[in-house]
Structure 1
Amino acid sequence: MPMPLKTKIIFVFISGYNLVGIAQTGSGKTLAYILPAIIHINNQPNIKPGDGPIAVILAPTRELAAQIQQVAIDFGSSTHIRTVCTVGGVDKRPQELELMKGCEILVATPGRLIDFLLTDVTNMRRCTYLVLDEADRMLDMGFELQIRGIISQIRPDKQILMWSATWPLEIRRLAEDFLTDYIQVNIGSLELSANHNIKQFVHVCQENEKSSKLQLLLRQIYQANNPGKILIFVSKKKRADMISKYINNFGVQCDSLHGDKAQVQRTRILDDFRSGRSNIIVATDVAARGLGKKKIYKVFQ
C-alpha cells in the first residue's frame, strides 16, 4: 500500500469514522489499523481487573492472527499496550490465563472468541475499536453468525473497520447492518485480479507429467544458485504430503502445511520457512492468507 494512501486511511481511522477497505491480501493494511488502535487505546482510561479488551481484531486463520499479534506487539509494547492472541486448534487454558491477566488488544479467530465470551473468560464491555480483517474470508468459512454475535455485544460508541479482498453482497449487507456513515476506500479493483507486478507462466502438461515437470522447474531454480523461498499450492492434503515427500527425496528440505497439522507443527513449519531453515512449503489454502509473502520468490499452483 503506498504510504500517502496509508496515511489517508490512518487519518480516517483517527477521525473516528467507520471504514470499509477493499484491498488485496498483502497490501500492507495491518499497520494502517494497528497504529490508530494504539492511539485510540492511549486516549482511553486504563483497563481494570475484569475489563475486556479495548481493541478487538478478528481474523479468519491462526496464521494471520499470529502475524497481526506480532505487528501489534512490535508497535504497541513501547506504550505498555498488552496484546493477546486467541485462536482455535490449540489448548484453551493458556489463552484463558493470558486473557484473565487483562489486555488492551485482543487478536482472535471468531469461533474461539465466542467460546470465551460464552464462558465469561472475557467480555466486550470496554471494546470501542473493532477490526474485521479479511471479512470475506471469514464469511466464506462460515463465521457470519459468530461475527454478528460478537458485534452485537459491543457498546454503541464503537468504531468498526472492515477489510475485505472483495465486495460481495454478503459483505455489503454486513456493512449496512453494523456500520453507520462508513467511508469506503478501494485499493485497486473491487474484483479479484492478477497482480501485474508478478510474472506468470503457464506450463501445459498431462496429469501424469506434473511431477517430472515440477522436478525440472525446481532443478532449474536451484541451478541458478538463488532459489529463494518457494510456495507450492495444491488442492488436497494428501497431495501436499505426497509432493513434500517427493521433493525431500531429492535432498531438499521441504514441509507440507494443511489443516490436519497440529498447531505446534504449523508454527514450527512457518518459523522454519521464515528463518530460511526450510525454503519450500507445499500447502493447501490454509497458508494462502496470513503468511508473510514479501520474500517469496516462486509460487507454483
Structure 2
Amino acid sequence: QTGSGKTAAFLLPILSHLMVKGVESSAFQALKEPEAIIVAPTRELINQIYLDARKFAYGTCVRPVVIYGGTRTSHSLKEISVGCNILCATPGRLLDIIGKEKIGLTKLRYLVLDEADRMLDMGFREDIENLLRSPGIPSKEERQTLMFSATFPSSIQSLARNILKPDYLFVVVGQVGGACSDVEQVVMEVEEFGKKDKLMEILQETGSERTMVFVKTKKKADFIATFLCQEKVPSTSIHGDREQKERETALRDFKTGQCPVIVATSVAARGLDIENVSYVINFDIPDDIDEYVHRIGRTGRCGNIGRAISFFDKRGDDEQRIARSLVKVLSDAHQEVPAWLEEVAFSAHGMSAYNPRSKFASTDDRQRGESRKDFSTSGFSPSVAQAEEED
C-alpha cells in the first residue's frame, strides 16, 4: 500500500546485515564492488532513496553512493572512486558504469528493484535483463533479490518468477493498489473550461499549505504553473523536459515552502516522499487507476492526514475509462461516491472499459495455479511517459 514505508523496509535490514557481517573498504581499489545495489526508475526517486540511505548509515562504515543520468559520467565515477558499499542507481547509468568496468558485481549480496512495475512501464525491461546478465553477477540462488512496488500485476509477478528464487516470499502490506485510508478523496464534476477557476478557488481556501497539482502533459504543467504565478500563487513545475538542475531546484523550492504549489506530470507521481503535502489535486484525472493511486499517495503518508481532490469532466475519454475503477477505489477506502459518478461508471461506456480482473494483483499468482510464462509487459496500459511525449 502506498505510503506504508517500504524504503525503510529494505534499507534498514540491508544496513543491519552489512554492519553485522562487515563491509570491505574499497577506497584504494580501482574496481569498486558494492555489496548492495538499489535500482529505481527516476532520478528523483533514486536520489530520495540515497538520501535515506545516507541518513540511516550516518556514523557507520557503510558508504552509500548515488548515480543517475542527466549528470556528467565523470561526476558519477568520482563519487564511486571514494568507495561504495550501497549503490543507488537508475538503470541506464548503472549499465553505463558497469560497461566502463568501474563497478564489479562479484560481491553483490543484495539487489533491490524499487517501483518494478513502473520500470517496465517506462521501457527499462531490456536494461533489467542486461543487468541480470552482467559478468560476475551472482546467481539468484547466491544473492538476495527484492522487488518492491505499490502495484503488482501478473506481468510483474512473472518477472519475479524469473529473477527471484523459486520459493520467494510474497508480502502484502495493506491493500495492494489501494488508496491509503488516511487520504480523504473528493471527486468534483468540473468541465474542462472551468478547471482553472476551480483550481484558483481551492488554492485560495488552502492558503500556503503544500499542494501538488497533477496534469497530463509537460506543456500544461508549465502553462498552469505560469498561470498560477500570474495570479500571485507562488508555483513551480516538474516534468521530464526540465533539466536535472531545474527539477532539483523545483523540488527544493517546494520542500522549503518557497513555492507551496508544484504542478507535475507523472515524473513526480511515483515514490517521492515529501513531508507535509496537505493536498493533491488531479487537474487532469489519469486514465489508469494505478496512476491515480500513486498520485494521491503523495499525501496522507506515514500516518498523516491528507486530502486528494480530482476534477472529473464527464465528457472526457480518460474519465470514462477510469470511472468504474475509481468507484471501486473510493468504496474500498470508505470514501463518499457521488451518485453522478456511479451513473458514469455503470453506463455502457464505463462498463466497456472495466476489467473485472484487477491489475492490482493483491494475491500471489502461484497460489492461483497460473502457469509459468516468460515475463513481458503485455497487459500494461500505455505508459504515462509515452502520453506526455505525445503532447
Q: TM-score, normalised by structure 2?
A: 0.67
Aligned residue in 2 for 1:197: 182
Q: State the alpha-carbon separation in 2 of the partners of residues 32 and 300 from structure 1.
A: 29
| Equivalent pair of 2:2/2:178 in contact (CA under 8 Å) | no
Taking the TM superposition and a 5 Å limit, the aligned residue runs for 1:74-89 are 74-89=55-70
- Are 2:218 and 1:237 aligned? yes
| Equivalent pair of 1:129/1:159 in contact (CA under 8 Å) | yes
Taking the TM superposition and a 5 Å limit, the aligned residue runs for 1:67-146 are 67-146=48-127
User: Taking every aligned residue pair, what percent have the same amino acid on both sides?
Assistant: 40
Which range moved further: 251-260 or 286-295? 286-295
- Are 2:24 and 1:46 aligned? yes
Aligned residue in 2 for 1:33: 10
Aligned residue in 2 for 1:247: 228
Q: State the alpha-carbon separation in 2 of the partners of residues 182 and 80 from structure 1.
A: 30
How far does residue 148 in structure 1 lie from its aligned partner after superposition? 2.0
Q: State the alpha-carbon separation in 1 of the partners of residues 138 and 268 from structure 2.
A: 34
Unpaired runs of at least 5, structure 1: 1-23
Aligned residue in 1 for 2:138: 155
Q: State the alpha-carbon separation in 1 of the partners of residues 218 and 60 from structure 2.
A: 43
| Equivalent pair of 1:60/1:137 in contact (CA under 8 Å) | yes
Moved over 6 A (4+): none
How far does residue 103 in structure 1 lie from its aligned partner after superposition? 0.4
| Equivalent pair of 1:230/1:299 in contact (CA under 8 Å) | yes
Query: Could you list the per-position Cα deviations for residues 230-278 of structure 1 after superposition, in whole angstroms to 9, with x for gaps in the alignment?
Result: 0000001111111101110122210011001111111111111112222
2:205 is aligned, of 214, 220, 223, to 220
1:266 is aligned, of 239, 247, 253, to 247
How far does residue 300 in structure 1 lie from its aligned partner after superposition? 0.6
Unpaired runs of at least 5, structure 2: 283-391
| Equivalent pair of 1:240/1:257 in contact (CA under 8 Å) | yes
Between the two proteins, the alignment pairs up a number of residues equal to: 273
Return the letter of the residue paired with 1:130: L
Return the letter of the residue paired with 1:155: P
CA RMSD of aligned residues (A): 1.5
How far does residue 113 in structure 1 lie from its aligned partner after superposition? 0.4
Q: State the alpha-carbon separation in 2 of the partners of residues 95 and 213 from structure 1.
A: 45
How far does residue 59 in structure 1 lie from its aligned partner after superposition? 0.6
| Equivalent pair of 1:84/1:106 in contact (CA under 8 Å) | yes
Aligned residue in 1 for 2:308: none
Q: State the alpha-carbon separation in 2 of the partners of residues 78 and 103 from structure 1.
A: 15
Query: Could you list the per-position Cα deviations for residues 66-112 of structure 1 after superposition, in whole angstroms to 9, with x for gaps in the alignment?
Result: 11101111111211211111111222110011112220000001111
2:240 partner SS: coil
Change (3 A) 1:235 1:78: same
| Equivalent pair of 1:51/1:125 in contact (CA under 8 Å) | no
Aligned residue in 2 for 1:14: none
Q: State the alpha-carbon separation in 2 of the partners of residues 179 and 255 from structure 1.
A: 41
Q: State the alpha-carbon separation in 2 of the partners of residues 45 and 211 from structure 1.
A: 55
